[in-house]
Every structure is written in structure tokens, then in C-alpha cells.
Chains A and B, each alone.
Chain A
Amino acid sequence: MPEPATIMLVDDEESIQKLLTYPLQREGYTVVQARDGQEALDRFSDSNVDLVVLDVMLPRVDGLEVCRRLRTSSAVPIIMLTARDDEVDKVLGLELGADDYITKPFSIREFRSRIRAVLRRATLAAEARGQDDGVIEIDDLRLDAAKRSVSVAGEPVQVTYVEFEILRTLALHPGRVYSRHTLLESVWGDSAYREPRTVDVHIRHLREKVEPDPREPVYIFTVRGVGYRFRDG
């Protein structure tokens, strides 16, 4: 990256702001702080933000709502900070489209590693946008890697960054079985600190978007005990 990335850190706890800001600044990132959802939305439009770290529980406008509103206008990578594991579904959810989440409590080391991974992916994706990766077409499903767009029967489908990466990885090698770890690595570069079951959540959302009947998938098949594969032929 020519210039250091700008990261917006949204958390209502002063001590946590301080705690997370320090390692980010140490890495050379510029940190923009926001204490509540409204402030986050306001400051986001003012500054050129490369990554948003967003706490779920926020006063005024909560984190989920902030994520949803950011997504309507921007593809900026978003990492959500959640208090509970069972919020995974909501965070990675259909309409929210956060790119990653970290459950509190987490270590500073893990936090750094996640930030790096997401920024690296974002950079790679930006570079990939320049090249022509070609188009994959299977039946009604059409993936355009250059435009990073997916359509089913000619109808464009909104998929998140992670969902697109998983779908493309699977579709590039129809029939090949991918484990959850492999899929995580293909998306994030490594699978450290990541829970394999997040893949299941992404796959579920993908099926809801591209499969004619998500309960009877015709594109993405589950290989029990192993992972997933795209249908061959």
C-alpha cells in the first residue's frame, strides 16, 4: 500500500478505544475513533476509511444498523466486535454483510492478525479488479470475477465479499471437495483464529441467494464430515 490504511474504530467504551487504538497506531495505521453509531456514520462519510472495526453494542444507532447502512453505500471491509458467540449469525447475516467478526474477549495478537488479513484481502481484491479473471457459467449461475458480480438466471444477486470468494473458490474446481479450513484459507490467506463454522453460515446465506431451493441445493453440495464441493458438469 502506498500510504498507511485508515481504520475507523467504533466502540463506546473509552478504555477499549484506548486499548485497541494503541496497537493499530503502532502498526502505522491512522485511527479514526467513533463513540456511537451516529458518530461512526458521520465520520465515515467525512474520512477516507479503508477498514471499519465495529462493536455490535453501541448507543444511539447499534452496530448492526451501522453495518447495514454502511453497506448500502460502500464495500469497505467491516470487522464486527461481538460480545457473544451466538451473534455470529446476525453479524455475518444476509443483509448485514460484515466481512469478519471477533468475539470478545480476544487477544491483541489475534486482533492484529485479523486486521492484517482483512486489509490484505481487500488489497488483493482491489488489484484483482484490474485483471480479467474471466467468467464462470454453470446453468443459470454466472460469476463475473472482474466485476465481482453474481447473477442467477440473468438476475443480479448481492453477495458479500466473503461469500463471493467462497463461491468462486468452489466453482473454479467443480467436484473438488474443500474442507472448511481450506475455504477459510482461500478467503483470508490463513485460517488462524477463525472458526470453521463461520463457513457454514456463509454457505447457508449463499444457498439462500443462488440456489432455487436452499434445502435441495443443486450447486453447492455438503460433503458430510469433510466440507463442501461444487457440482461437476
Chain B
Amino acid sequence: MRAVRSLRVRLVVVFATVVITAMGVLYLYVVPSLRANLVNDRTARLLSVARHQQQHNPRLKRQFQKGEYTKRALTRVAGLANAQVFVYRVEQGRLEPTPEELYSQPVPPTFPLLQQALESPGPVAGRTPGGSVLVVFRMPGGAVVAMTQRLGDVNDAAELVQRQIIIAAALALLLAVLVGWAAAVAISQRLSRLEAAATRVATGHFDQPISDRTPDELGRVAQAFDLMQSRLAQIDRARKDFIANASHELRTPLFSLAGFVELMQNEDLDERTRQEFLLTMREQVSRLTKLATDLLDLSRLDAGAVEMEQEPIDLRETARALVREFRGLAAKHGSRVVLARANGEPPEGIGDEQRVQQIGRVMVDNAIRHTPRGTQIRVAVSGENGRVQLAVTDDGPGIDSADHDRLFERFYRGDAAGGTGSGLGLAIARELAHRMDGDLCVASEPGRTEFTLELPTAAAG
């Protein structure tokens, strides 16, 4: 049954059980032992009085030796002991009650304890049939004195304690159940919130933190949960953005391709327009191809599936290759790519040569595409701060400083939008640089924009 197994019920049952057990122990063990202690105490006091009267009261001894045990003397003893006192005379080995009897006899003369006292030198203690404490001692002159003390007050005290224990138990039980219930409700409410939040997360909603700041274990769980949720939300947002961006980047060239196909099918196009359309279509196809490659690269980078070599690289060789490769494209744009003379002998870098080439291509390609005609692009290699740098510098109009950080975001194209880029090149390049323990950064002002790839060197590594 769900209700019985719920935390509330179980906590309340545990609380109640603890209280009932504690009260039961009090009631069944502590009260009887309290009573026994009180009785023993009484008996001990009576015994001590008896011993004193028997051995250290010469006057009483003399009176008994003379056979005159007066009412007065006995009353004194009784007053000392706060007890009832009786005297029995020994007649031919048998006990007889005396006429100086103060009270009605508590025990018959044949009571075993009286016989026992007759044979014992000191006082003996026991209980009367009525439950009172009985102390008996022998006196000279053939007499036996019996002192009894009722236990009514002891019983009253014990009963009072018992009653109070029951009342206290009832109150404690009520309190335990209430407190237990309240605590359980509080805890189970917080747990329910955790549960509800977890269910929301499971259905893909990450927007509602639990915000439980209580400094206890549950509060810490809630905080850890909130942290997890915000991380998940971040990842989820990034994933959705990525898909939205990727699909937008795919749809735009597809849409334009479809449109041109429709135009070419239905319109009467002159040859020049036809060629122009075909050129645009070819650009769109190559854009799609590049996008597909980039997306694959990114997903492999994200999955950690990109193998990186750790080999020595001569960046000067990389720079020369880049200049050779892009000379043609630059000329087509009316720009120029030149190799800068290296300052001294830069050390070899450590990394994956193929990937370094890839990063270099992104840098030079961007420098050509995103600058006006007549721009000069320099590729330079240097060794500074124990690292080695490959820098691509152009004297174009520069990049707005607000865009510097965002340049490396996926799909971010800034105002360079409208070109054929997907906005993924720099994102991939920087990711690759990081994988090689390097970095890729930008410095730009009007008239000078520099992208720098920095790699660790063999010496530093």
C-alpha cells in the first residue's frame, strides 16, 4: 500500500514507537524499582532504630529487665521510628501479646518472623501479611518488640508517579506524532518538489529551479539539482540553437537552388542570364558541400572523435604552403597574399600538421573574402614567450570590436553576412587550436586585422 510506505507514515510510526518504548520502560521498570527503593529505605531506617533501641538504650533495657515496658517508653520508640510498636512476651518458649498493647495486633504471635527474632541476636526485617514493613527485635526480660510501618504514602507516591508518567506519555506521544508528521510533511514536500522538478527535467523543461536554500542535506541535493538543471538547460539551448542555425544554413542555399531550378525550367532565359544563374547555383552547391563538411567536423569535435597527432611542425613551411595555395584566389579578388620574412629562427611547434593547415586556410580565406579589393594579406611566423605563432594580417577596414568575442561562436557571421560562409570556420579553427593546446585569437583596428594561431613548442612541451 502506497500510503503505509510513504515517508510521512513511516516517520510518524517511528517517532511514536520510540516514545511508547521510552514510556513503557519508565512505567514497567523505573516505577517498580522506585517503589522497591523506597521500601528498602524504610526498612533500613526501621532496622537502624531497632538496633539502637536494642543495644544502645540502657534505660529501655533496664525497664524491660524489670518487666515494666510502659506505654510511655514504647510511645517514645514509636515516635522515633515513626512506626507502630507492639510487644510480645515469651512464655515457655511461646509468644504472647502484652496488655500494654498500643494498637491492635498487626501480626499473630505465631508469625514466623517473630520466632526468627527470638533466635536472632539483632533485629530482623520483613513484611506483614498486610504489606507493611515489619522489624522485630528481642529485648531482655523475655520480650520481643515488633515495629510496623504502613507503606500507604509510598504507594501513593508510586501511583502519583505512574499517573504522571501516563499523562506525560500521552502528551509526548501526541507531540511526537505532531512533530513527526510536521517534519515528515516538510521533508516530503521538499522531496516532492525534487521529484516534480526531476519529472519536468525528464520531459525536457529546464526552466524552473527548485531554489531550496536550506543548509541541510536536502538543500544541498536541491542546489546540486539546480546546477545540473542549469547545465542541462545550457546544453539543451546550445543544441536547439545549433539545430536551428544548421537548418537555417541548409535551407537558405536549398531554397535559392530550388528557385533557380524553377526559373530555369519555366522562363525564357537568355544565355547570359542562364550562365549567371548556373554560376550562382554552383556557388550554392559548393556552399552546401562546405557546410556539410564543417558540420561533420564540428560533430566529430564535439564527440571527441578527432584524432590529433603530436608532431613537430615547421610553421614557416605551413606559411609558404598557404601563400602558394591562396595566391590565385587572392588575385581573383584583386588582393595580394605575401609571406613575411621571419624574424630569426622560430622554434618548431607541436601539433597536427593537417589541422594546422586547416586553421591556416580558414584564416587566409577569411582575410581574402571579408576584405575589399586591393587588400594586402601578410602571413608571418614568429616565436615568442616560448610559443610559436602563425599570424595572418590584413590592412582591410577592420572588425567591429563588439564582434571580436562573437567571431568564434558557431554560425556567427557578424555583418559579413550574405557571403558564402557558414559562420563555422573560425569556430572549428579555434576548437582545433584548443585541442592542440594552442589558441586562436584576433586583434583588429581599422587598417589592421590580425588573426594569430599560437602553438606550444617542443622546448616548452
The answer on a CB contact under 8 Å between A19 and B418 is no
List of B residues within 8 angstroms of A190 by Cβ: none
Chain B, Cβ-Cβ closest to A83: B248
Q: Encode A38-78 as 1/0 by CB contact (under 8 A) with B.
A: 00000000000000000001011000000000000000000
The answer on a CB contact under 8 Å between B273 and A22 is yes
The answer on a CB contact under 8 Å between A35 and B418 is yes
Q: Enumerate B306-328 residues with CB–CB distance to A below 8 Å.
A: none
CB of B53, distance to nearest CB on chain A (Å):
104
The CA-CA distance from A75 to B334 in the complex, in Å, is 44
The 6 closest A-B pairs by CB, nearest first: A15-B256, A105-B255, A19-B259, A12-B418, A59-B417, A12-B417
The answer on a CB contact under 8 Å between A23 and B263 is yes
The CA-CA distance from A60 to B400 in the complex, in Å, is 12
List of A residues within 8 angstroms of B254 by Cβ: 105
List of A residues within 8 angstroms of B258 by Cβ: 105, 107
List of A residues within 8 angstroms of B251 by Cβ: 83, 104-105
Q: Encode A15-35 as 1/0 by CB contact (under 8 A) with B.
A: 110111011001000000001
Q: Does B15 contact A (CB under 8 A)?
A: no
Number of residues in B with C-beta < 8 Å to the partner?
26
The answer on a CB contact under 8 Å between A18 and B280 is yes
Could you list some 20 contacts between A and B, CB below 8 A?
A13-B252, A13-B418, A14-B418, A15-B253, A15-B256, A15-B280, A16-B252, A16-B255, A18-B276, A18-B277, A19-B260, A22-B273, A26-B267, A57-B248, A59-B413, A59-B418, A60-B415, A83-B248, A107-B262, A108-B262
Chain B, Cβ-Cβ closest to A26: B267
Chain B, Cβ-Cβ closest to A35: B418
Q: Name the contact of B263 in the complex, choosing from A14, A22, A57, A59 (C-beta under 8 A).
A: A22
Q: Does A36 contact B (CB under 8 A)?
A: yes
The answer on a CB contact under 8 Å between B417 and A16 is no
List of B residues within 8 angstroms of A23 by Cβ: 263, 267
List of A residues within 8 angstroms of B262 by Cβ: 107-109
Q: Does B162 contact A (CB under 8 A)?
A: no
Q: Encode A179-204 as 1/0 by CB contact (under 8 A) with B.
A: 00000000000000000000000000
Q: Encode B260-297 as 1/0 by CB contact (under 8 A) with A.
A: 10110011000001001100100110000000000000
| Chain B residues within CB distance 8 Å of chain A | 248, 251-256, 258-260, 262-263, 266-267, 273, 276-277, 280, 283-284, 413-415, 417-419
List of A residues within 8 angstroms of B413 by Cβ: 59
The CA-CA distance from A65 to B50 in the complex, in Å, is 113
CB of A36, distance to nearest CB on chain B (Å):
7
Chain A, Cβ-Cβ closest to B258: A105
Known: A12-B418, A15-B284; 16 extra A-B contacts, CB below 8 A, are A14-B418, A16-B255, A16-B256, A19-B280, A20-B259, A22-B263, A23-B263, A59-B415, A59-B417, A59-B418, A83-B248, A105-B259, A107-B262, A108-B262, A108-B266, A109-B262
CB of A57, distance to nearest CB on chain B (Å):
8
CB of B36, distance to nearest CB on chain A (Å):
82
List of A residues within 8 angstroms of B259 by Cβ: 16, 19-20, 105, 107-108
List of B residues within 8 angstroms of A59 by Cβ: 413-415, 417-418
CB of B207, distance to nearest CB on chain A (Å):
19
The answer on a CB contact under 8 Å between B255 and A104 is yes
CB of A110, distance to nearest CB on chain B (Å):
10
List of A residues within 8 angstroms of B273 by Cβ: 22
The CA-CA distance from A26 to B273 in the complex, in Å, is 12
List of A residues within 8 angstroms of B253 by Cβ: 15
List of B residues within 8 angstroms of A26 by Cβ: 267
Chain B, Cβ-Cβ closest to A18: B280
The CA-CA distance from A23 to B283 in the complex, in Å, is 20
The CA-CA distance from A94 to B248 in the complex, in Å, is 26
The CA-CA distance from A195 to B149 in the complex, in Å, is 109
CB of B243, distance to nearest CB on chain A (Å):
12
Chain A, Cβ-Cβ closest to B273: A22
List of A residues within 8 angstroms of B418 by Cβ: 12-14, 35, 59
The CA-CA distance from A18 to B269 in the complex, in Å, is 14
The CA-CA distance from A20 to B258 in the complex, in Å, is 12
